[in-house]
A and B are shown apart, each in its own frame.
Chain A
Amino acid sequence: MIDFHLDLRSGVSPYQQLVQQVQRALRLGLLSVGDQLPTVKEVVSKLAINPNTVLKAYRELEHLGLVTPRPGVGTFVTQSLAGESLAAHEPLRAELRAWLAKARQAGLDPDSIEALFMTTFREATEVTR
């Protein structure tokens, strides 16, 4: 089962973090079709967050077609993302490797590269949200 965590300083809203963590787990193959997500009670018991936050995240995942609720039983994964990330996006990965090499040549150290990437990434996702 997936283990959630929360980063209040990330600038990403809590429910969005939960959604992203489920998506990441699906991509990495940690969650597969038929697996059950933790119950709302289990999540809040560990994270001490508002149950509505969890409900909202699970509703969003359902809206994205990734999970489905079974009343009285729990919430189950209905679609996997595992296949997509690695194989289907190999060209993107290669591009990324090339860019990283360029950044290194420009003299940036790993921390600066990460900072540059994160700020640009955040700006981009902000605009599209």
Chain B
Amino acid sequence: MIWLTWRQFRAQALIGLAALAALAIFLVILGMRIRGTYDANVTDCGTTCSVTNARDIMEDTYFGTLLLAGLLIVLVPALLGAFWGAPLVAREIETGTYRLVWNQSITRTRWLAVKLTFVTLAGVALAGAFSLLLTWAASPYDKLLTARFEPLIFPTRNIVPLGYAAFAVTAGIVIGLLIRRTIPAMAVTLAVFAALQILVPTFLRPHLQPPVTETVAFTADTTVSEFSTGGPTNKGVSINGYGSAVPGSWMLSGRVPLLDAAGNQATRDTIDGCLKGDFRRDMACVAQQNMHFEVKYQPASRYWTFQWLEFGAYLLLGGLLAGFAFWRVRRGLS
């Protein structure tokens, strides 16, 4: 059965390997260039260089490319689900060959087990190779910009792509088994994967562990990226972008209100006296008014926990789908 699975899978495997080779060349070159930039601006740079400067240079040069590469890494499991998973059973049903292979001296359960395991492992290996290459290539960038926990980067590094691949391939197989036609199954698999890639970071990932709530006193040293004194309808003062004060964390709060000692939101009138024109002196003035704000975030120390949790969640979902497929295939076609 392993021979037959390989024989049927051969062409797809070769295409996957070719894509891996092409992407590997690209990522190795990218990785070398990133290391070059890092060395030039951090390691080998003398006293003239600042971390902030290096950070800006790194971001300007590589943000776009790495974003694109990251998109590819998330696309890979989706494509594996559609091109490796969905046709696995659907094609046999569509072409009628299930009536040949289900009559060989092998139970349907074992038939599915070999095919499913083989292709899922192959998919996980491929996604793993891609992820390994990208994580390696981008590691100086990630070290400098400490943004790896953020929603745009988190799914593209380390081990979660393997979980995505395991889920996508298994989902493709089950959808193919239920829909019984290859093209619609491919489309549905892509849709399901895309839906999860939107739903999980929005509703599940933030709550994998209860977020840390921190009350931050607004002092002269507090660094925020945005200080808003409200608009015509909303007179409240709010701040945004506290994340840089907690590097490597995942800031869940966006814009939060600035609160006075009693817990009420400061309004423009409250701090009007401080706004004289010089940003630094104005902030120092506001700082003396005993204000604070609350942020929710996932601390950097939880990054790997979250990687494993999300990997495990996708793996579990894939496992449940596989279990369903085995149950369903036992009783034959209809």
In the complex, is A directly touching B at CB under 8 Å? Answer: no
Binding site for A on B (CB under 8 A): none
Binding site for B on A (CB under 8 A): none
